[in-house]
Structure 1
Amino acid sequence: MKTLSVFFACISIILCLQSCKRETSNSNSQTPETTLKQLLPANTSIRILIDKSDYTLSVFTADTLVKQYDVVFGGNPVDDKEKEGDKRTPEGVFGVRDKYPHRSWSKFIWIDYPNASSWKKFNQRKAEGIINEGETIGGEVGIHGVPDGMDNIIDEKQNWTLGCISMKNKHVNEIYPYITKQTQITIQK
């Protein structure tokens, strides 16, 4: 009889733990509609990881992934930027030069391409003859939205920029307040 009582007590505890765990995970669950403002306090430092192979922009605080967004790139989404006009998105670790509203695609977050690492790669390629004399490194690369009503560009993974990272306007507007000149932006293959 005592063994049966212990058995039912254990079953009750297990059922309660599973139920409590389910309730907790449901109440804290994040949906794609959950905004950064709902997930992060104001003035929280973030870092950005852009993965070209996954078409994602991920927002981190320290080492914690907070939210992920779909993005697209330049006409050649695979290769690292070599020079101006190659329609490639640069790879590396960048900072933020500036950010401002943009009349064509909501907001523009201007990354510091070319930086010292970009120039080193450019000069090495030039020395190897990959880049011809007179060709330039380019610039004005950033993260921005899409023309009004063109969110389908992102949904359909149409790489349409000249080398920038493009995301839906509501998403660039969402990350915009959290971007500072100290924000680290890593772009990887």
Structure 2
Amino acid sequence: MHLRIPCVICACLIPTPLALAGGQVDLVRVDKSERRLQLIGDGEILRTYSIALGGDPLGHKRREGDQRTPEGRYLLDWRNADSIAHKSIHVSYPNTEEIASAKAAGIDPGGMIMIHGQPNGYGWWGWLLQLVDWTDGCIAVTDSDMDEIWTMVSDGTPIEIEP
């Protein structure tokens, strides 16, 4: 099924996959080793994006400040249009098991893991930032990629983050 949106060059109506209207993505899959984020709908890969991770990306996030991105299945549970980066969507880390494990170890599990664009004011050099892992554990994409993800992914969508 397609909808028609105006072309930015000539304003004619062009067919566009309905997924661009949002709500058609039923899973976000992140492969940390490949630095790749995929939007999945009805078992099909709808979009693929290059990502940057935290400064120490190997392994599962265990504590605040370890610069790791969590691994496992979570939900994208809320979004922030006014974040310090160009839009952000929150990953529901830590879960109850991770909180209990951190408490038993006497550490803070951290949180505020997001999929986000570039730091505000620096979107023009996003292509360069995406060549290195620079976040504190979040999943970073370019601003234009974030705009598309923002439109296609609804709150409550599951996210699987694989090593």
Give the structure 2 partner of residue 92 of structure 1.
Answer: 72
Q: Which has the higher strand share?
A: 2
The 5-angstrom pairing of residues 1-189 of structure 1 reads: 38-41=16-19, 42-46=21-25, 47-119=27-99, 121-122=101-102, 126=105, 133=106, 135-147=107-119, 148=122, 149-151=124-126, 152-154=128-130, 156=131, 158-189=132-163
Change (3 A) 1:100 1:72: same
For residues 123 and 69 of structure 1, what CA distance do their matches in structure 2 show? Answer: 35
Whether the 8 Å contact between 1:39 and 1:66 is mirrored in structure 2 is no
Larger Rg belongs to: 1
Change (3 A) 1:97 1:44: closer
Change (3 A) 1:153 1:118: same
TM-score, scaled relative to structure 1: 0.69
Tell me the number of residue pairs that the alignment of Structure 1 and Structure 2 aligns.
Answer: 143
TM-score, scaled relative to structure 2: 0.80
- Residue type matched to 2:144 in 1? K
Q: Once structures 1 and 2 are overlaid, which stretch shifts more, 140-149 or 48-57? A: 140-149
For residues 150 and 103 of structure 1, what CA distance do their matches in structure 2 show? Answer: 18
Name the % identity: 28
Q: Name the SS of the counterpart of 1:118 in structure 2.
A: helix
* Consecutive unaligned residues in structure 1, runs of 5 or more: 1-36, 127-132
Change (3 A) 1:77 1:40: farther
- Root-mean-square deviation (CA), in Å? 1.9
Give the structure 1 partner of residue 5 of structure 2.
Answer: none
Q: Name the SS of the counterpart of 1:102 in structure 2.
A: coil
* Consecutive unaligned residues in structure 2, runs of 5 or more: 1-14
